[in-house]
Amino acid sequence: MPLSQLLWQHARREAPLECVGVLGGVQGADWEARVYVPLTNVDPLPSARYQADPAELLGTLRRWRGQSLELVGIFHSHPRGPAEPSERDRQWAAYPVPYLIADLRTEQLGAWWLPQGGTAEVTQV
């Protein structure tokens, strides 16, 4: 199944709460996502924010290291839109990878370099 379908399935399954997950792959001239791992949103206000379960995130990153995979993207949903980062999304961004945001209302997918906020080009997910 294409990764994009996995992202959208996860977002729809968790709605009306925000979902979160990570994309693993290889970084190079062109970053290539190969796997998607949904993570538990442990934020106290999951209807409006996300925070990946730290143990799940670290466990995933450790497993990937053994498979020669790297973190190449972070995905989360905005069930009521937009497909743009919130101020909190910018403030909490911690990894130098594209942040993909799904707007379930319009079914758009945005990609951003955070915290600076420039758009990231995603050719295929």
Q: 106-124, pLDDT tens digit by residue?
A: 999 999 998 777 777 766 5
Give the SS3 label for residue 99: strand
> Is 34 part of a structural domain of the chain?
yes
Predicted confidence (pLDDT) per residue in 82-114, tens digit: 999 999 999 999 999 999 999 999 999 999 998
The reported pTM is 0.91
Quick check: is 70 catalytic? no
Residue 124 resides in a domain: no
Domain harbouring 37, CATH code: 3.40.140.10
Cα separation, 24 vs 8, in Å, equals 17
- Is 44 contained in some domain? yes
Structure confidence by residue, pLDDT tens digits, 52-82: 999 999 999 999 999 999 999 999 999 999 9
Give me the catalytic one of 14, 18, 70, 107.
18
For the stretch 27-54, pLDDT in tens is 877 778 999 999 999 999 999 999 999 9
> In which domain, by residue range, is 62 found?
3-119
The total number of structural domains in the chain stands at: 1
